[in-house]
Each structure stands twice: as structure tokens, then as C-alpha cells.
Amino acid sequence: MQPTERGREVVRVAQALVPEIESWIGAIVGADRARALREDLETIRRAVVLT
């Protein structure tokens, strides 16, 4: 799959929002829970890549 220029722009915008979203999540659930959620998502990502 080849991303279009518009697709690359969408990815750039989404990546720029990550720090702000992570900050919101940390404020809502706390730093420890946010870290655990991040680890869970990484575990899921690795499992999907391996299948």
C-alpha cells in the first residue's frame, strides 16, 4: 500500500497530537495506569504483527 500525500499529512497530524492525548489520559487515569495501557497496546500490536 502506498500512502498518498494526504494520507502522509493525516499521519503527521495524528503523530503531533500524541503527546497531548497522552497527557490527557495521564490526567484522567493516572501515570501508572497510562503506562500500563501503553504497554498493553504495545503487546497487542506485537501480537498482530506476528500473526
Instruction: Please report the pLDDT score of residue 50 as a whole number.
Output: 80
26 confidence band (pLDDT: 50, 70, 90): very high
- pLDDT at position 19 over 80: yes
Instruction: Please report the pLDDT score of residue 51 as a whole number.
Output: 72
Contact 7, 16 (CB under 8 A): no
Name residues whose C-beta falls within 8 Å of residue 38's C-beta, 6 or more positions apart in sequence. 22
- pLDDT at position 34 over 90: yes
Q: How much of the chain exceeds pLDDT 70, in percent? A: 100
Average pLDDT of the chain, as a whole number: 94
